[in-house]
Amino acid sequence: MTSAVIAPLGVDSPARGLECRGCGARFPLAAQHACYECFGPLEVWYDADSLAKVTRAQIEAGPQNIWRYAGLLPVGQHAADRVTLNPGLTPLVRADALAAEIGLRAPLWVKDDSANPTHSFKDRVVSVALTAAKALGFTRYACASTGNLANSVAAHAARAGVPSIVFVPHDLESGKIITTAVYGGDLVAIEGSYDDVNRLCSELVETDEFEDTAFVNVNVRPFYAEGSKTLGYEVAEQLGWRIPAQVVIPMASGELLTKIDKAFEELVSSGLAVAPEGGWKVFGAQSLGCNPIATALHAGTDVITPVKPTGIAKSLNIGDPAAGLYALEAVRRTGGWMDYASDDEIRDAIRLLARTTGVFAETAGGVTTAVTAKLVASGKLDPDLETVVFNTGEGLKTLDAVAELVGPTYRVKPSLKAAREAGLLG
Ligand SMILES: *Cc1c(COP(=O)(O)O)cnc(C)c1O
Ligand SMILES: [Zn+2]
C-alpha cells in the first residue's frame, strides 16, 4: 500500500502528519491511506497551536471560496499550488416555509451545496485531494465514484490540464454520466456496484501502471476527507461564527458527517466559533435501499453489516461504508440519531424542498429532507432548536427521480379564448 511517490508537503501547513483512527500510530504526510500497524484508516492530524493562531479576521479577508479556510486545511496555503475550481461559500438558505410544514419552530436553514462548480459538495473534497496529489508528484487523477465525485475529478483534471480516469458503476443516471464524460477524460463504467468499483480501484492503485495516479478517495483519501470540513466551517461563519444546535447530513461512506463534526470541534477548540448551549447534535440520513449505518445504530451495535444497495438515491449507494463506524461514534457522542427514507418519500421530499425553498435537490437532498421530517415527527429532532439541513447535490443530475411526477399544469392553445376556457382567468 505504499506509493512510490512520497514528498514533503505544505511548508506553511498546520498539518503535521497522518494518524491512524484505529491505533493512533502516526505517519508522515504522504500518499498513504491505511495504517501499517493495524490497517486502520488514516486521518490528517494538526498542530493545535497552528490551528489556534488562525483568526476570524484572516478568514474573512480571504477568497470567496473554500481556500479562505486554508489555515485549517492540510494543503493549499499558496494559491499557485492549488488544483481547484474554487468551490465553496454556497448559500445558506433560511427555510421558514419548510420548517412550518415539517413542524420545526426554531430557525431552519438549508446549506445548498448544489451551487458548487460541478453542482455537488464533492468539489470541496476533490480540490483538497488533488492539491495534495500535485504536491506529492502524481501526474494522473482518478477516483471510484457513485457519480458526483467522477464529475468533479473530471472537471478539475480538465481545468488543470492533467489526464484523468474515473470509475463508476455502469447503471448511473445519465445526468451523472454526461456531466462527467463531457470533460473528455477516461470514464470507465464497471459492470458492478460501487463497492465492486471501489475494490477494483484499491487493486489498480497497487499496480505499476497506476503508480503515477492519485485516486482521490483511495491513496490520497486522508486529504480528500479533510475537504468536507469546509462545509462545517462555512455554516458556522454564515451563522455569525455560531455552531447550529442540530445538523442533518446525508451519508454514503459516512465521511462527510464525521468531518462536519470535526470542523465544529476545531472551530470551538480554537476559539473561532461558539458552541450552542448543550452542544451540537449530529443526525445522519440514508435511504431504505442502502441503510447499513442507520440500521446498526437502530440495532445498538458497532457491527455494520454490508448491504447490496438498491433504490434511486444512487449517489449515496455505498453498501460497505468506510467511515460508518466513525459516523456512528459521532452521532452517539453528540446525542443525535439516524433514519432512512424510501424512494417514494425521497421523491416527495425533493418536491417539498423545491416548493418551500426554491432549492432543487438531487435524490441525496431528498433523502436528507425526508429524514429531517421523520426525525421531527419521531421526536428525535427538537423542534425548538436551530437546525441546518445539508443539500449536497443538484436536481438537474437526477431528473428521472421526479420526471413522471411533475409537468405543465395546463396545456393551452395560444389564444385568450383558449386561456379563458382552460380556467387561467379564474
Ligand atoms: C458523496 C455524496 C455524499 C456523501 O458522502 P460521504 O462522505 O461518502 O458520506 C452525499 N451527498 C452527495 C450528493 C454525494 O455525492
Ligand atoms: Zn493503526
Ligand 2 ion local residues (Cβ < 5 A): 20, 22-23, 25, 35, 37-38, 40
Alpha-carbon gap, residue 267 to 260, rounded angstroms: 11
Which grid cell is 256?
462527510
- Which domains, from first to last, does the chain contain? 15-83+122-224 (3.40.50.1100), 92-118+228-403 (3.40.50.1100)
C-alpha 116 to ligand 1 mean position (Å): 14
Confidence at residue 1, expressed as pLDDT on a 0 to 100 scale: 38
Q: Is 315 in the pocket of ligand 1 (CB under 6 A)?
A: yes
Q: Is 119 in the pocket of ligand 1 (CB under 6 A)?
A: no
C-alpha 23 to ligand 2 mean position (Å): 4
Between 255-269 and 229-238, two packed helices, what is the crossing angle to 10 degrees? 50
Confidence at residue 426, expressed as pLDDT on a 0 to 100 scale: 84
C-alpha 301 to ligand 2 mean position (Å): 22
Containing 126, the helix (H) or strand (E) segment is helix 122-135
Take atom 11 of ligand 1 and give the residue whose Cα is closest. 392
For the chain, list residues with pLDDT below 50. 1-7
Give φ, ψ of 120 to 5 degrees. Answer: -150, 170
What's the whole-number average pLDDT of the chain?
Answer: 96
Q: Is 386 in the pocket of ligand 1 (CB under 6 A)?
A: no
CB 285 within 8 A of CB 342: no
Alpha-carbon gap, residue 146 to 321, rounded angstroms: 13
